[in-house]
Amino acid sequence: MAGKAGKQSRPRKAEKDEEEQPLLQAVLVADSFNRRFFPISKDQPRALLPLANVSMIDYTLEFLTSTGVQETFVFCCWMSSKIKEHLQKSKWCRPTSPNVVHVITSDLYRSLGDVLRDVDAKALVRSDFLLVYGDVVSNIDVSQALQEHRQRRKMEKNISVMTMIFKESPPGHKTRCEDDDIIVAMDSKSKRILHYQRAQALKKLHFPMNIFHSGSDEFEIRFDLLDCHISICSPQVSIRLYETQNQILGNQIHMHVTKDGYGACVSNLLMYDTVSSDTIRRWVYPITPEANFADQEGQSCTHSRHNVYREPGVSLGHGSQMEENVLIGRNTMIGANCTISNTVIGANCVIGDNVTLDRAYIWNRVHIANDVKVKQSVICDNVEVKHGVVLNEQCVLAYNVVVGPDITLQEGTVLSMHHPDEEDDEDEDEFLSDDDVGHSKDKTKQKGSLFNPAEVGSEGKGYRWKTSSLDDTEEDELAECIWGLALNPDPESDSESEVSEGSHDLGSHPASPELDDVKVFQNEVHGTLQRGLDENISCDNLVLEINSLKYAYNISLKEVMQILIRVVLEFPFHQQGAQISTAQYSSHLLPLLKKWAPVFKNYVKRPQDQLDCLASMEEVFLERETHWAALVKVLMSMYQLEILEEEGIMSWFRQSTTTDKSQQLRRNQGLLKFIQWIEEAEESSEGDE
Amino acid sequence: MDGWWGCYNTVLIADKQQKKSRIHDPGEVSVWFRKCSSVQNQRFTETLVKMPGADKETDLSERIESFLSELKRCGSGAGSLRGSAETARETTALLRRITAQARWSNAGDLMEIIRKEGRRMTAAQPSETTVGNMVRRVLKIIREEYARSRGSTEEADQQESLHKLLTSGGSSEDNFRQHFAHLKANIIEAINELLTELEGTTDNISMQALEHIHSNEVIMTIGRSRTVEAFLKDAARKRKFHVMVAECAPFCQGHEMATSLSKEDIETTVIPDAAIFAVMSRVNKVIIGTQTVLANGGLRAVNGTHTLALAAKHHSTPLIVCAPMFKLSPQFPNEEDTFHKFVSPHEVLPFTEGEILSKVNAHCPLFDYVPPELITLFISNIGGNAPSYIYRLMSELYHPEDHEL
């Protein structure tokens, strides 16, 4: 009853809001910044993949429009031209559309941070906006969350930067794949998120103590939430992102938990499977297949009992049965004696006799011959499956593949027309436009004709898709990536799949970033500083850049500082070669330290930071025994620049060290003198008081 | 019980006679409406004439588009967010706008335009039959106005013999090509009359309440119908009676109904749906609303109504359906795919249930079909009718050619 009343009052409320508030805007990120869906997303951007025969981005736009968004900015990067073309043809770009869609493309976006920075730079949003990914399927009514968000902002100006929307779904729920398991600690009164962490099937979880000292006396730690990847952000969010993470986590992210409605993000194929079946089972009502909300010609289908949907022109052979939860696209022909259940079939497919399909997702123009069995698999456009093929669970046949005849594909097989070796070639330019893909296709053709009949059958075409190495374990990992963690949920590989997620969500505590990321980050920081030096960029901008890199690679604050120190200290070696003398080294380094002092000051604030900073300096110098003399000069100048304070240096010096080498370092003549000098200075200042 | 039946039948017959006399003179009804709305009409036509001509077309299509999307989205719970009366009014107002602003030179063009938009509107929400009904009403108005402009009597058109229908074929359609200067104004005026009729439907129905509800009766109803609500409240101003409200799970609109009734000092009891049969023996009359009245006199009504109707039949309790004329649809109950409406199973099996969701299929249908033999009487804004009379009303309201849009 209460729910009903809420629903009824909703439109009125929304209208009122619109009168009071400026128009509601949304930022839709039509790129996932990861390669989860490879090799499928090699040919088609993820946002355009069909889910129940409608592109995913259409679901997202429909969701935004129905919540009253009037202006949407679609940011795309990977294959942006395809997305643009799709949107221009869709109903969203018609002049009568209540939601004005702007497409913004750039090949330079590498993370959500880049997009938000661009939003800020172009001054696109004027007030609170919705931030969603291009693969969100939802019918959640965000108006209540929006109101809460606005109220919070009114009460405490600019304190709340973001409200994330969560859906209640207990563990074991099918829309929860293990990748997305999260643990959230929240303040139950203010609904503020204190801690957000991916659970990743970890046995032990750590919560920083300080979150429980934040003044509130009621906390909730929840494991029954599903991140819908929908957030309401303030225009300041992009600016705030550059400030320290603690602040973001501590003060500024709130949450809204909804029980009604449906919201999920298609982050891997397992989720694709679940969300498709939920759509067909009408959980996302009123976004249902027969509603034809994308308003495409000839897509209207009929809905009959047991959730069987048929678009016009479907023909069904004698004795064929559509058992339940079936959606069949227009002009698809199905032969005799087929059994179809929990399946989506696209348009213009031809399916032979005696075919069994269960949880199959068959896209457009697929030919399936007689006596084929398919279980929980995805078959992309223009695939041909020949006579007698059996696809076991979690197979993927990417675009244009031919399989068979008479072959059984093992669980988790991924076949693609892209040769796995291309992977390496394309590694650097993965975000380039379609031309490159076309180019690589040509390459495939050149290499072609060498299909392995054991993999694709005697008449088959396609390669078994693998990650760069041919290792067996790596293959498993790939299947995990594309299907989520269903295949082998062992905790070790979990963190790896998290890396593939990249900066999937804001403000998440990274469990521990992989070494690769740290390396890449270090190189990036080095590049940034180099550029800063060459182009004389101001320190403030450098800080901004480093911070955005930090989000791009999901690096914690402490690590940022360590890496920064390392990069700066090694800077002269990079510039002048590793063989320079100590004197040359310090003469190069000291001006740099002076120049970048504000950068350091930004990161070194608390006493603990100083210790960390000193520890990483020590680490660097331990590697280069010959330059120990320079350490004193570095410490001296850092001290003079007020980056380090005497207490910090003293406590570092007095730390009991374990290795001989670091003890040796501490016994260095110059250092001892310096310490003595500091001690005296301290005493004298104390004496003054 | 017997005595009651007798009294009831007389009412029924009286109603029928009244009805017949009125129906035989279709002019009378419209004249009456014209009288009460003439002032309003003038204002409507004036504003419409003065509309700036510049971006009329885009403005119109924008309006249609927003109406369509609203239709598509309405009804995330049971029924619709708005009452169907409101939908009917909005549809008619939109059709009036189309008539006024779209480009057409003769009645044939206009009918084509309206048919096209009508098809889109009905496709947007097939379960909301009111929209289609209003489109048919407007088409009928155009036909009548065209015939009047041509000078032929409506009566002749109405009573076309089988022979005439067979021989003339689509010739009447060709005749719609003739151009008349005043046609537009006439049609708009007639649509305005229709709008005024729509405004008054609920009042017209609740006016008849005292004829049906007597003192100290026990009335049963199910779910929430705005028409029934007004009907009972109207009766409560003069009489004391007791209302049992079946809660109508899973959306439990019955709770709202009960709250609303009890605010008007009506003695109200909410019962679960399972208790309908048990309580029925005490009930004197069942009064329900409906979503649609089908062409065979059956109902498409909120879930649980069939149970209620069967229980009423078993106890020989009269079942009265309050349904304004705009709910009368030329649809038959065999059109399976548009008949049903399934919403999110969330109410049946909450999404938070967890693991079980992947193992079961949950369905949440909204409507029941109630066959005409279970219904005693329809009360519409133009009086009471038996289900067997519905076919006749259907031919009064809609032109046979418009049944399929």
A263 and A326 both lie in a single domain: no
A334 and A235 both lie in a single domain: no
A43 and A179 both lie in a single domain: yes
Q: CB-based contact (8 Å) between A8 and chain B?
A: yes
Of A7, A174, A292, the CB nearest to B81: A7
CA–CA dist B299, B378 (Å, integer):
10
Task: Report the SS3 class of residue B342.
Answer: strand
DSSP B59-127: HHHHHHHHHHHHHHH--SSSS-SS-HHHHHHHHHHHHHHHHHHS--SSHHHHHHHHHHHHHHHHHH-TT
In-domain check, residue A429: no
Q: CATH number of the domain at A629, please.
A: 1.25.40.180
Q: Which residues of chain A neighbour B342 with C-beta distances below 8 Å?
A: 282, 285, 303, 307
CB contact under 8 A, A66 and B73: yes
Which of A363, A395, A420 delimits the end of a domain?
A: A420
Report pLDDT for B62: 81
C-beta of residue A302 within 8 angstroms of C-beta of residue A290 = yes
Q: Does domain B203-350+360-402 have CATH number 3.40.50.300?
A: no
Which of A420, A452, A482 delimits the end of a domain?
A: A420
Q: CATH number of the domain at A151, please.
A: 3.90.550.10
Question: Can you tell me which residue has the tokens 């016994």?
Answer: A667
CA–CA dist A442, A436 (Å, integer):
10
C-beta of residue A13 within 8 angstroms of C-beta of residue A143 = yes
**pLDDT-derived band of residue A23, with 50, 70 and 90 as boundaries?**
confident
Q: Indicate the range of A62-71, B189-198, B253-262 predicted with least confidence.
A: A62-71
A671 and A628 both lie in a single domain: yes
B-proximal residues of A, 84-103, CB under 8 Å: 94-98
Dump pLDDT digits (tens) for A320-375: 999 989 999 989 999 999 999 999 999 999 999 999 999 999 999 999 999 999 99
A230 and A307 both lie in a single domain: no
In-domain check, residue A368: yes
Q: Do the first three CATH levels of B55-72+81-154+177-200 and B203-350+360-402 match, i.e. the same topology?
A: no
In-domain check, residue A450: no
Q: Which range marks the domain in which residue A355 is found? A: 297-420
A218 and A316 both lie in a single domain: no
CA–CA dist A373, A388 (Å, integer):
8
Q: CATH number of the domain at A402, please.
A: 2.160.10.10
Q: CB-based contact (8 Å) between B361 and chain A?
A: yes
Which of A393, A420, A447 delimits the end of a domain?
A: A420
- Phi/psi of residue B354, nearest 5 degrees: 95, -135
Dump pLDDT digits (tens) for B23-80: 444 444 444 444 444 444 444 443 444 444 446 677 888 888 888 877 876 644 444 4
A236 and A302 both lie in a single domain: no
Helix axes B183-207, B26-50, angle to 10 degrees: 120
CB contact under 8 A, B344 and A262: yes
A396 and A255 both lie in a single domain: no
Dump pLDDT digits (tens) for A579-627: 777 777 778 788 888 888 877 777 777 777 777 778 888 777 777 777 7
B104 pLDDT above the threshold of 80? yes
| Helix/strand/coil percentages in chain A, nearest 5 | 45, 20, 40
A56 and A165 both lie in a single domain: yes
Q: CB-based contact (8 Å) between B351 and chain A?
A: yes
In-domain check, residue A487: no
CB contact under 8 A, A98 and B253: no
In-domain check, residue A60: yes
A266 and A327 both lie in a single domain: no
Q: Which residues of chain B neighbour A325 with C-beta distances below 8 Å?
A: 361
Provide the domain count of chain A. 3
Q: Domain B55-72+81-154+177-200 adopts which CATH fold?
A: Four Helix Bundle (Hemerythrin (Met), subunit A) (1.20.120)
Q: In the structure encoding, which two tokens stand for residue A605, read together?
A: 């604030």
B-proximal residues of A, 537-596, CB under 8 Å: none
> How many other CB atoms are found less than 10 A from the CB of residue A464?
18
Q: Indicate the range of A24-38, B98-112, B177-191 predicted with least confidence.
A: A24-38
Report pLDDT for A420: 73
pTM above 0.80, yes or no: no
Say if residue A591 is preceded by a cis peptide, omega within 30 of 0: no
CA–CA dist A448, A422 (Å, integer):
12
CA–CA dist A656, A546 (Å, integer):
33
Residue of B nearest to A172 (CA): B355
Report pLDDT for A14: 41
In-domain check, residue A212: yes
In-domain check, residue A538: yes
How large is the average pLDDT for residues A417-438? 51
Where are chain B's structural domains? 55-72+81-154+177-200, 203-350+360-402
